[in-house]
Amino acid sequence: MNKIRALIAEDEPILAHTLLLALQRLWPELQVGGVVENGIAAVAEALAQRPDVLFLDIKMPGKTGLEAAQELAEDWPEDVPFPLVVFVTAYDQYALQAFDQAAADYVLKPVSDERLGKTVERLKARLAAHTERNAELERIVGQLRSLVPHAPAAGGERLSVIRAAVGNQVRLIPVAEVLYFEATDKYVNVVTADSESLIRTSLRELLPQLDSERFWQVHRGTVVNIGAVQAAVRDEAGKLSLKLRGRPESLPVSRVFAHLFRQM
């Protein structure tokens, strides 16, 4: 029988060590491939190691556990079983209701043997069931739809104009003319029908300032003006992309957001 492999992502060394020791006590046959300290490393190591189980701290530098799970759901190879995901969280009981409603596996900090033991038994049962493991990908995608805040909170101030530096000038771009925003490292690329301009902000900071009825997030790094979408096209592999009016490129739609384009 193949060894069951796990990866732990936790930025607090003491808590990471505590979780590792608890897993060694409660699940001695589990092979932990390492402990990483941030969400960016969690994604990189998970894609490299392809573990069977992934323990993700919710609040980590670089990327949160939810953001890391979302990126993995988007980038996971089609022919590789998606790992069972357990979120590790310090949230209070009220906040945990969101996880319960999404049927997410989670353990609460500080990790207790009793609570972790129940999680371990559930994980063992799911691994032993030999069900279609890529159904796990569909399960985590469904959970992320409930857990990841895709739309900005209501009542915030909406942007009407984007100010983008171009050389020694500041270009004023009406938000209504923007076809899509695309995250590029520390910048966001603002794309209109006839121009592209970089602004020094993150998509996370920009989203709450956009009208959520007009601008839809369709990928972790892409927000599209839905009025600019000409068609949603699915290829032979089942992947969805958007064709825009006035632009030659197509925008990929991640699994997490594909439900927005189901036929109504």
Q: What is the pLDDT of residue 150?
A: 58
DSSP symbol at 253: E
183: pLDDT strictly greater than 50: yes
Q: What is the pLDDT of residue 36?
A: 97
103: pLDDT strictly greater than 80: no
- Encode pLDDT of 43-68 as tens digits: 999 999 999 999 999 999 989 999 99
Confidence of residue 227 (pLDDT cuts 50, 70, 90): very high
Provide mean pLDDT across the span 248-255.
94
18: pLDDT strictly greater than 70: yes
Q: What is the pLDDT of residue 94?
A: 59
129: pLDDT strictly greater than 80: no
Where do the domains of the chain lie, and which CATH numbers do they carry? 5-147 (3.40.50.2300), 161-261 (2.40.50.1020)
Which residues touch 138 (CB under 8 Å, ≥6 apart)?
A: none
Q: What is the pLDDT of residue 32?
A: 96
Q: What is the pLDDT of residue 264?
A: 46
Q: Helix or strand or coil: residue 200?
A: coil
Give the span between the Cα atoms of 218 and 259, in whole angstroms: 10
234 against 167, higher pLDDT: 234
Provide mean pLDDT across the span 217-227.
95
E strands along 37-175, which residues? 53-57, 84-89, 105-108, 161-166, 169-174
Rounded mean pLDDT of the chain? 89
Q: What is the pLDDT of residue 2?
A: 74
Q: Which of 237, 217, 46 is nearest to 144 (CA)?
A: 217
Match 């990327």 to its residue by tokens.
63
Confidence of residue 131 (pLDDT cuts 50, 70, 90): low
Confidence of residue 156 (pLDDT cuts 50, 70, 90): low
Poorest-confidence range of 56-60, 84-88, 96-100?
96-100
Provide mean pLDDT across the span 26-55.
96
pTM: 0.80
